[in-house]
């Protein structure tokens, strides 16, 4: 994808951040603004976070702005979203805090096994299928912090309940 392909975009402002996106190729919902801020306020200094379905980086960038002492691996499989995410990271001055990664969330999360304090899974249609990879990406705790499993951390999982979609 060339640099010229990032020209048909909208610009969206939320909570002091600016996001560019091409809505023909990327999902971006202002309706999630409250949820993004709610999660950002829960993050502690020094956390390492994996955003498995990052899109243009809204969750990741907002977290980095609210809690600057974080490292956020921001994964998306869509090359359009990835290119905009890189641009949005620069635009919002969170380089080195938000690390854009182009790739499949399962594969990339498995490469990050044991590093995360917090995992974001904001893709309700398919998030459950990625849950085993997310759990493996969480820190291992020799003391068995969560029910004797040896896993420590938080997973924010968005999913649909009720009738199958």
Domain boundaries, the chain: 3-157
> So what's the pLDDT on residue 31?
79
The vertex-56 CA angle with 55 and 58, nearest 5°, equals 95
Contacts of residue 130, defined as CB under 8 A and 6 or more positions apart, other chains included, come to 52, 105, 106, 109, 121, 123
Q: Are strands 48-51 and 139-140 parallel, antiparallel or unpaired?
A: unpaired
CA 28 vs CA 25, 33, 96, 120: distances in Å: 10, 10, 23, 16
> So what's the pLDDT on residue 97?
97
Contacts of residue 124, defined as CB under 8 A and 6 or more positions apart, other chains included, come to 158, 159, 160
> So what's the pLDDT on residue 131?
81
CB of 81 closer than 8 Å to CB of 56: yes
> So what's the pLDDT on residue 7?
63
Q: Are strands 17-21 and 48-51 parallel, antiparallel or unpaired?
A: unpaired
Q: Are strands 48-51 and 118-121 parallel, antiparallel or unpaired?
A: parallel
> So what's the pLDDT on residue 165?
47
Residue numbers in the chain where pLDDT is lower than 50: 145, 165
> So what's the pLDDT on residue 142?
55
> So what's the pLDDT on residue 62?
96
The overall longest dimension of the chain from CA atoms, in Å, is 52
Contacts of residue 121, defined as CB under 8 A and 6 or more positions apart, other chains included, come to 52, 53, 127, 130, 131, 134, 155, 156, 157, 158
Q: In CATH, what class is 3-157?
A: alpha beta
> So what's the pLDDT on residue 163?
56
């Amino acid at each position: 994808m060339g640099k010229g392909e990032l020209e048909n975009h909208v610009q969206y402002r939320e909570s002091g951040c600016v996001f560019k996106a091409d809505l023909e190729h990327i999902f971006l919902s202002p309706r999630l603004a409250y949820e993004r801020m709610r999660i950002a306020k829960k993050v502690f200094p020094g956390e390492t976070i994996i955003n498995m379905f990052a899109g243009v980086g809204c969750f990741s960038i907002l977290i980095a702005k609210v809690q600057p002492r974080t490292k956020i691996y921001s994964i998306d499989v869509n090359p359009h979203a990835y290119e905009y995410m890189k641009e949005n990271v620069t635009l919002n001055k969170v380089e080195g805090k938000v690390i854009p990664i182009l790739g499949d969330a399962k594969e990339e999360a498995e490469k990050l096994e044991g590093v995360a304090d917090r995992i974001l899974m904001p893709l309700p249609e398919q998030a459950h299928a990625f849950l085993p990879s997310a759990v493996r990406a969480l820190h291992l705790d020799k003391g068995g912090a969560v029910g004797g499993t040896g896993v420590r951390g938080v997973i924010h999982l968005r999913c649909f309940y009720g009738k199958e979609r």
